[in-house]
Structure 1
Amino acid sequence: MYTQSITRSHRTAFVLLIDGSGSMAEEIDVHGRRMTKAEAVASITNGLLFELIERARRNDGVRDYYDIAVWSYSGNDEVYSLLPDGVEMISVAKLAALQVPMRREVIECRMPDGSTALREIPAPAWVAPEAAGQTPMYQALDQAAELLDAWCRRPEHAESFPPTVFNITDGEATDCDDEELRSVAERLRGLRTCDGNVLLVNIHIAPGDSQRAVFFPSEEEAGYPNRYARLLYDCSSPMPEIFNEAIRDAKGPGALPPFRGMSYNASAEQLIAMLNIGSISVKIE
């Protein structure tokens, strides 16, 4: 299980569900800069899309190793694609070929003397920050389940590494109760290919206050900061063994698997780590 390499004949899929509700207008610190949660998530999402494209790039161009969907859930219980022209899902090669706006991205660079400095570079912006309305998380997970049910049923995907869903949120669902959220998450996680079940990684992004952070928790880590952290844990997938080494690198060598694909009160750095671990730990051939 979870052993199939990603190839053009055994492609996989990545789905990003992004909370675009009004609370995403709150500010956080990212590498010493103040920005809204929406700006931080958009920046990190664009960085992940760029990384996925570069990982699929070969001498003959960008190869179709995976399909990608990026949806926002916000407004008046709305779920919609953030990709150009509202496309529901796109191959990585078509994503790379799109003409998209450029933005100025601030990155942290390490200097020869070991210090760090901030540098502005141009970068493509497939996704823009959004922050308005409610948090229809149930609807987002439900629509993702419909999309991936159809994707997994396609004969050419039967033996593929299963899709991974990243649900990035800063708050509680406004369109369901806890049991309904657990139920729709279970349905999503129940979808599968011959290589394993769909992976659901729930990521909570928050200002990073004094509350204890929960980050890829293991069975040995007991107790959760509040009810919402417990709910995220229940809704998230156990992480396959293929991710254990990368998770230990992020958490520290003392971390013991099995790990759960969730975080609560995550810093921006942890958010980046979770997206990277979930998207680049699988072998591409």
Structure 2
Amino acid sequence: MYARSITRTHRTAFVVAIDGSGSMAEPIRFRGRSATKAEAVAEVADELLFELIERARRDDGVRDYYDIALIGYGGDDRVESLLPDGAETLTVAELAARRPVLRTRSEELRLPDGRIALRETTFPQWVAPHAAGQTPMCEALRRCRDLADAWCARAENAASFPPVVFNITDGEATDCDDEELRAVAAQIRSLGTADGNVLLINIHLAADDEGRTLFFPGADERPGPNRYAQLLYDCSSQMPAPFDKAIRREKGPGALPPFRGMSFNASATQLLTMLNIGSISIKTE
């Protein structure tokens, strides 16, 4: 289980849901500069898309190793695709063929003598920051469920590595109660292919790094009395053994599996790490 390498014959899929509610306008410190949560999440989502494209690039071009869906939720119960032209899903080759907007940003750089300098870098932007309104997370997860269900139902995907669903949020759902959220998360986790069930990874992005942090909690780590940490824990997948090595590399050799695919009070750096482990550690041929 969870052993199938990714090829053009046996593809996989990544579904990323991004909270765009009003609280995502809160500031955080990100890569040496001040940014909003929405800006940080958009930046790391763009980096994930760029990395997925580069992982699929070969001498003959970008190979269709996976399908990608990107869902934003917020505003007036808005749940919509964030992919170019509003496409529901794109193959990685189709995404690579779209020309993203090129943006420039300034980053702090520490010089050998200890001084701080600013460096401007140009980067592709597929995802624009968004922060407004409520948090229709349940409806967004239903959309993820339907996309994953349709993907797994296709005959050509029956033996493939199952889809990985990421839910990136900084707050609580405003369109359901806890049991409804647990129920739709269980429906997502119940889907799958012959190689395993769909993986649901829930990532909570904090305004800072203070307080208790849960990051791929292991066998000896359980959520404390915080209700939302417990809810995320209950909703998330147990990570398969093939991911253990990458998780222990980040947590330390003393970390004990099985690990749960969640974080609580995650920093923006941990957000990027979780996206990397959830996607980039999967083998391609």
TM over 0.5: yes
Cα displacement string for residues 138-186 of structure 1 (whole angstroms, at most 9, x for unaligned residues): 0001111111111100000000000000000000000000000000000
In structure 1, how many angstroms separate the alpha carbons of the residues matched to 2:118 and 2:249?
25
- Is the contact made by 1:212 and 1:225 (CA closer than 8 Å) also made in structure 2? no
**Paired residue type of 1:199:** L
Does 2:269 correspond to 1:269?
yes
Deviation at 1:120, TM superposition (A): 2.3
TM-score, length of structure 1 as denominator length: 0.96
Aligned twin of 1:82: 82
SS in 1 for 2:50: helix
- Is the contact made by 1:243 and 1:277 (CA closer than 8 Å) also made in structure 2? yes
**Paired residue type of 1:22:** G
- Is the contact made by 2:138 and 2:180 (CA closer than 8 Å) also made in structure 1? yes
Aligned twin of 1:280: 280
In structure 2, how many angstroms separate the alpha carbons of the residues matched to 1:107 and 1:12?
34
**Paired residue type of 1:254:** G
Aligned twin of 2:104: 104
Aligned twin of 2:70: 70
In structure 2, how many angstroms separate the alpha carbons of the residues matched to 1:237 and 1:117?
42
SS in 1 for 2:129: coil
SS in 1 for 2:17: strand
Structure-2 change in CA distance of 1:106 and 1:255 (3 Å): farther
SS in 2 for 1:3: coil
- Is the contact made by 1:214 and 1:224 (CA closer than 8 Å) also made in structure 2? no
- Is the contact made by 2:26 and 2:37 (CA closer than 8 Å) also made in structure 1? yes
Aligned twin of 1:21: 21
The alignment yields a C-alpha RMSD, in angstroms, of 1.8
In structure 1, how many angstroms separate the alpha carbons of the residues matched to 2:195 and 2:112?
45
Deviation at 1:119, TM superposition (A): 3.1
Number of paired residues? Answer: 285
In structure 1, how many angstroms separate the alpha carbons of the residues matched to 2:66 and 2:80?
20
Deviation at 1:111, TM superposition (A): 6.8
**Paired residue type of 2:201:** V
Aligned twin of 1:10: 10
**Paired residue type of 1:174:** T
Aligned twin of 1:246: 246
Deviation at 1:117, TM superposition (A): 6.5
Cα displacement string for residues 52-94 of structure 1 (whole angstroms, at most 9, x for unaligned residues): 0000000000000000011101111121011111000000000
SS in 2 for 1:7: coil
Gaps of 5+ in 2: none
Aligned twin of 1:157: 157
Gaps of 5+ in 1: none
Structure-2 change in CA distance of 1:178 and 1:142 (3 Å): same
Deviation at 1:222, TM superposition (A): 3.1
Deviation at 1:243, TM superposition (A): 0.6
How is 1:136-151 mapped onto 2 (pairs within 5 angstroms)?
136-151=136-151
In structure 2, how many angstroms separate the alpha carbons of the residues matched to 1:99 and 1:31?
26
Which stretch of structure 1 is more off in the superposition, 113-122 or 217-226?
A: 113-122
Which stretch of structure 1 is more off in the superposition, 223-232 or 33-42?
A: 223-232
In structure 1, how many angstroms separate the alpha carbons of the residues matched to 2:231 and 2:263?
11
Structure-2 change in CA distance of 1:55 and 1:197 (3 Å): same
Aligned twin of 1:58: 58
- Is the contact made by 1:211 and 1:225 (CA closer than 8 Å) also made in structure 2? no
- Is the contact made by 1:56 and 1:65 (CA closer than 8 Å) also made in structure 2? yes
**Paired residue type of 1:255:** A
Structure-2 change in CA distance of 1:131 and 1:152 (3 Å): same
**Paired residue type of 1:265:** N
In structure 1, how many angstroms separate the alpha carbons of the residues matched to 2:75 and 2:116?
39
